[in-house]
Amino acid sequence: METEQVAKPVKFSKPHRFRFVSKTVSSAPLAVFRVAFGLMIFVSIVRFWSKGWIETLYIQPLYYFPFYGFEFVKPLGGYTYVIFAVCGFSALLVALGLFYRVAIVGVFLSFTYIELIDKSTYLNHYYFVSVISFLLIFLPAHAYFSVDAYRSKRLLADKMPQWCLDSVRFFVCILYFYAGLAKVNTDWLVNAMPLKIWLPAHNDLPIIGFLFNYTWVPFVFSWVGCLYDLSIPFLLWNRRTRVAGYVAVVVFHSLTALLFPIGMFPYIMIVTALIFFSGEFYQRIIAFVSPKVSLPTEFIYPRSTYKLSSITQQLLIGVFTLFFAFQLLMPFRYLLYPGELFWTEQGYRFSWRVMLMEKAGYTQFMVKDRTGKQLIVNNNQFLTPLQEKMMATQPDMILQYAHILQDYYSKHGFISPQVYVDSYVALNGRLGRPLIAPTTDLANVSDSFQHKSWIIPFNDEIKGF
Amino acid sequence: MIKSNWLQMIVVCLLAGIIWACSGKGSNSDPDPDKGTTDRKAVLINLADNSIIPAYANYKVKQDAMLIKSQAFLSKPDITTLTAFRQAWVDAYTEWQKVELFDIGPANKTAIVNYYNIYPTSVAGINEYIADPTVNLEVTASYDKQGFPALDYLLNGVGTTDAEILAFYTSSANGTKRLAYIKRITDHMDALLTKVINDWKSTYREEFTTKTGLDIGSPMGQLVNGYVLHYERFLRSGKFGIPSGAMLNGVVSAEKVEGFYKKDISKQLAQTAHQAAVDFFNGKNAVTGASGPSFKTYLDGLGAKDSATRKTLSEIINAQFEVVNQKINVLKPSIYEEVKTNNAAVVQVYTEMQKAVRLLKVDMTAAMSIVITYTDNDGD
């Protein structure tokens, strides 16, 4: 809970439950976050574009793996560049705080659309960006230090309801805490897997590389990583430990950036954690900067509070309550499925499970029909290397691919083709074994949220969350 | 790898300091040579200096011998020079199997494997190329018209008897053109090999042994990828899977065996190639036969093992290699004959090789943390 902000006197005495809702807080942290977040998205888009990934990930593939229920999201061919341009441009507008509401809706829709095209590119931090931009749609992040506020005195406010800021903070806390909770399992803590595999790959780094030859080092990294994720929400929330917490954030994410190919994620998190700093902290920076760039005093100290009408406010509180209930429950949906989560991946995505598995697989598909025709599929003919790699370890993608093959071969000389897969998957240092029942005709199976009974059960147990 | 910046350097130094301070003397962690090594530099140096470079030197001796015999044949095509050329071709083709798997660096850049050993060779294509001596031998379309398989046809397949084969070069109006084509393709082999060997000597050895990272495009990453790909595509599919029909539609294609026109060497080629893959895995010195730092010792150093049986991954892989060797050993010298008369034995080799492919492609690469991808991932 914020301690540095004194609650404004409330005009009407409200019932107890509205006390939190009526507290106000400086607009500065959310405004700074808006600027930083917009710039990070913009940089991400530029980086993605300049690496040629739009072409290789969204234009070159012949087939895509849409998410269940989102099959209507289709790749747009050459127009994919347009949607990236829209996203990048909107992100810049968000940073500037110009036409903010339209811009943030633009970021949310374009970014989410891109991420829904193909499961093989799923990353937790993309989901994070989508969810944060969804939250920001409803928040007055443009009420302060924005072009919109500069142009509209009515909008300009250096205070806003506290829940507006705290909802973003709370969401970031969920992310860290759940990521930590997911590490409380026997593979991570008892076997130091998968870090035991990943760290020795960096034993040639200058200065710290030699450490990765010691068998105890992955254990230290695993335990520290787990404790870090679990404790960071509290360290950042508490004023007394905030600076230490932020230093930990910078150290931890810089280290992961150095060791693992995770792109923008560490930097986005380092920037995101800034939202925990207090209004006073930012006010001091602004007070220092604004005379130098000669911003009018009334723009910096408008002495007004952003107000929502009570109906809007109650509506939003309702939406946010549902949203957070969803966020808190969604990662636990795996409990509804039998079998080992890491093996079946039923309920694995959208749950802040990061860096938990070294999983590699190999699949060979056989297509046959009742006339006795049969062939072994060359996966390269249909999938990109990334798609093949992702598909090989994830049952729902294996099924989608089987249906791609079914469609293709029913148009290419096979009469109601049957599709079988010979799969082999290794998880966290265990010797590989078949993932999918080789006798199941996957052409005959349709995807659903039901348990996939054609996954061969895992022959080991990973205890924990 | 993300490029280091100042912030990261500071973080690294801080962390190193902290952990170093906490780690005491670390004396309990002296590397035990029996347990293998996690020192990739040692692995790369051994593979370069004791396996790859000497293997190319060994091969060059055989290829040079073949070139001399081919010169003799070209200047005086008769039964003596033909027989000598043919034998030198068999020797070189066999020795080639010991270097074909090094599809990395210079070999990868020159695509030497594609120019040397794509079969079945195109008879119609060879005849076209003989007719047109200006045709470019450096394009993809020319792969199956040169190298060892083309020589196989030209030395063993242009007639049913030696007399007929000699007549192909002597009595016909086109004889000189045909001899000239042999010269063209053997010269091309000479040029390619010279380039590969020189590249290894001049710059690539240095690059190979100093870039010890495992990221995309690193020597170790390319080496492992190339090794596994070679095992899967050239050993499993090329030599057994495709001829036996185990790969496609069950269509048996005996004529797609390696060394189709010579017939009786296909098993010897496959045996040699497979043994080369096994020896490379175990880091065998190409001259002395002694083992050194290798994929095997690296896996042992990483402690890769089956948690159920406690067997090390390298033991499991070597055991599977042995099973494959045994399955190859029982074949007839001509895999063509075997496919025609006892195809099940050939399919069995394929099946056992398939198990080895999985161990290499999934278990070994996962244990080594060698990624086959080109974009970011967050590890899940």
Per-residue model confidence as pLDDT tens for chain B (380 residues): 334 455 455 555 555 545 444 443 333 333 444 558 889 999 999 999 999 999 999 999 999 999 999 999 999 999 999 999 999 999 999 999 999 999 899 999 999 999 999 999 999 999 999 999 999 999 999 999 999 999 999 999 999 999 999 999 998 788 999 999 999 999 999 999 999 999 999 999 999 999 888 877 788 998 998 899 899 989 999 999 999 988 766 789 999 999 999 999 999 999 999 999 999 999 999 999 999 999 999 999 999 998 888 899 999 999 999 999 999 999 999 999 999 999 999 999 999 999 999 999 999 999 998 875 423 333 33
- Minimal Cα–Cα distance from A234 to chain B, Å? 23
**Cβ distance of B19 and A255 shorter than 8 Å:** no
- Contact flag A357-B248 (C-beta cutoff 8 Å): no
* Residue A424: C-alpha distances to residues A365, A420, A435, A456, B349 (Å): 12, 13, 6, 11, 19
- pLDDT per residue over A126-173, tens digit each? 999 999 999 999 999 999 989 999 998 889 999 999 999 999 999 999
Candidates B14, B39, B378; nearest CB to A125: B378
Q: Let me know if A297 is exposed, middle or buried by CB neighbors in 10 A (0-12, 13-18, 19+).
A: exposed
Task: Tell me the three state secondary structure of residue A433.
Answer: strand
Q: Does A190 touch chain B (CB under 8 A)?
A: no
Closest partner residue to B12 (CB to CB) among A204, A207, A375 is A207
Alpha carbon distances (Å) from B367 to A225, B41, B378: 21, 18, 18
How far is A173 from A167, CA to CA, in rounded Å?
10
DSSP calls for B346-365:
HHHHHHHHHHHHHIIIIIIH
Q: Which residues, numbered 121 to 150 in chain A, qualify as contacts with chain B under a Cβ-Cβ cut-off of 8 Å? A: 121, 123-125
Inter-chain residue contact B366 with A121, CB threshold 8 Å: no
> Taking phi first (over 0 means left), then psi (-120 to 50 degrees means alpha), and beta for anything else, what does residue B259 get?
left
Residue A47, number of CB atoms within 10 A of its CB: 13
Other beta carbons less than 10 A from residue A265's beta carbon: 22
Of residues B16, B357, B372, nearest to A385 (C-beta): B372
CB contact under 8 A, A353 and B380: yes
Spatial distance between the Cα atoms of A355 and B23, rounded to a whole number of angstroms: 25
Is B34 strand, coil or helix?
helix
Q: What is the pLDDT of residue A206?
A: 87
Q: Which two tokens stand for residue A343?
A: 């093996």
State the smallest CA–CA distance between residue A197 and chain B in angstroms: 6
CA separation for the pair A54, A211 (Å, rounded): 38
CA separation for the pair B65, B67 (Å, rounded)? 5
Closest CA of chain A from B265, distance in Å: 28
Q: Is residue A423 within a helix (H) or strand (E), and if so which, with residue range?
A: strand A418-427
Q: Which residues contact A114 (CB under 8 A, 6 or more apart)?
A: A58, A80, A83, A84, A87
Task: Provide the chain A residues 21-50 that lie in CB contact (below 8 A) with chain B.
Answer: none
Q: Computed from CA positions of residues B363, B364, B368, B370, in that sequence, does the dihedral angle turn out positive or negative? A: negative
| Rg of chain A, C-alpha, whole Å | 25
Please give the residue of chain B at the shortest CA–CA distance from A423. Answer: B358
Residue type, B5: N
pTM summary value = 0.87
Q: Are B252 and B243 in contact (CB under 8 A)?
A: yes
CB contact under 8 A, B374 and A386: yes
pLDDT band of residue A283 (cuts 50, 70, 90) is confident
Query: Is A207–B16 a contact, with Cβ atoms under 8 angstroms apart?
Result: yes
* pLDDT at residue number B36: 80
> How close, in Å, is residue B369 to chain A by CA atoms?
6
> Nearest residue on chain B to A355, judged by CA atoms?
B379
In eight-state DSSP terms, residue B159 is: -
At A35 the pLDDT is: 94
* pLDDT for A71 beyond 90: yes
Q: Which of A65-69, A190-194, A269-273, B247-251 has the lowest mean pLDDT?
A: B247-251
Record: contact B306-A251, CB cut-off 8 A: no
CA–centroid distance for A172 within its chain: 11
Residue of B39, B369, B372 for testing the chain A interface, max A β-carbons within 10 Å: B369
- Of B67, B55, B326, nearest to B197 by C-alpha is B55
- Judging contacts by C-beta atoms under 8 Å, the chain A residues touching residue B27 are none
State mean pLDDT over A238-244: 95
Nearest Cα neighbor of A48 from A91, A3, A109 is: A91
Q: Which chain B residue has the Cα nearest residue A431?
A: B306
Determine whether the interchain pair A353/B212 forms a contact, defined as Cβ–Cβ distance below 8 Å: no
Q: A52 CB near a chain B CB, below 8 Å?
A: no
pLDDT at B26: 36
Residue of B nearest to A374 (CA): B249
Mean pLDDT of A221-227: 97
Inter-chain contact B380–A203, Cβ cutoff 8 Å?
Answer: no
CA distances from B4 to A257, A350, B373 (A): 9, 30, 21
CA distance to partner chain B, nearest, from residue A26 (Å): 30
**Calpha distance A417→A377 (Å, rounded):** 13
The pLDDT value given to residue A425: 96
Closest B-chain CA to A348: B380
Task: Kindly determine whether residue B365 and residue A360, on different chains, have CB atoms separated by under 8 Å.
Answer: yes
Looking at residue A394, the DSSP 8-state letter turns out to be -
In percent, the amount of chain A with pLDDT more than 90 equals 79
Task: Tell me whether strands A359-368 and A24-26 are parallel, antiparallel or unpaired.
Answer: unpaired
pLDDT at residue number A19: 56
Query: Helix (H, G, I), strand (E, B), or coil: what is residue A363?
Result: strand
CA atoms within 13 A of residue B228's CA, in its CB half-sphere: 23
Q: Which residue of B has its CA nearest to A220?
A: B19
Task: Judge whether residue A18 has pLDDT over 60.
Answer: no
Query: Looking at the DSSP assignment, which residues form a beta bridge with residue A160?
Result: A25
As for the ipTM of the complex, it is: 0.84
Hey, are the CB atoms on A258 and B11 less than 8 Å from each other? yes
Residue A397 C-alpha, separation from nearest chain B C-alpha, in angstroms: 14
Whether the Cβ atoms of residue A301 and residue A26 lie closer than 8 Å to each other: no
The total of other beta-carbon atoms located within 10 Å of residue A335's CB is 9
Mark which residues 296-355 of A lie under 8 Å from B by CB. Answer: 348, 353-355
Contact B116, B100 (CB under 8 A): yes
A304 DSSP 8-state letter: -
Contacts of B373 (CB under 8 A, 6+ apart): A385, A386, A389, B216
Distant-in-sequence contacts of A147-151, Cβ < 8 A, 24+ apart: A147/A96, A147/A97, A147/A98, A148/A97, A148/A98, A148/A99, A148/A100, A149/A97, A149/A299, A150/A299
Q: Do B378 and A208 touch (CB under 8 A)?
A: no
Are B29 and A389 in contact (CB < 8 Å)? no
Could A258 and B308 be called an inter-chain contact, meaning their C-beta atoms sit closer than 8 Å? no
What percent of chain A shows pLDDT beyond 70? 95
Give the chain B residue nearest A263 (alpha carbons).
B376
DSSP codes joined into one string, B46-103: HIIIIIIHHHHHHHHHHHHHHHHHHHHHHHS-SHHHHHHHHHHHHHHHHHHTTTTT--
Q: Do B362 and A424 touch (CB under 8 A)?
A: yes
Non-local (6+) Cβ contacts of A425 within 8 A are A343, A359, A360, A361, A362, A392, A393, A432, A433, A434, A435, B362
Confidence (pLDDT) at B370: 87
Q: How far is CA B201 from the centre of its chain?
A: 19
C-alpha–C-alpha distance, residues A286 and A280, integer Å: 10
- Which of these, A258, A273, A160, A136, lies nearest to A208 by C-alpha position? A258
Chain A residues whose CB is inside 8 A of the B304 CB are 429
Provide Rg for chain B, Cα atoms: 24
pLDDT, residue A5, reads 43
| Contact criterion met (CB < 8 Å) for A362 and B362 | yes
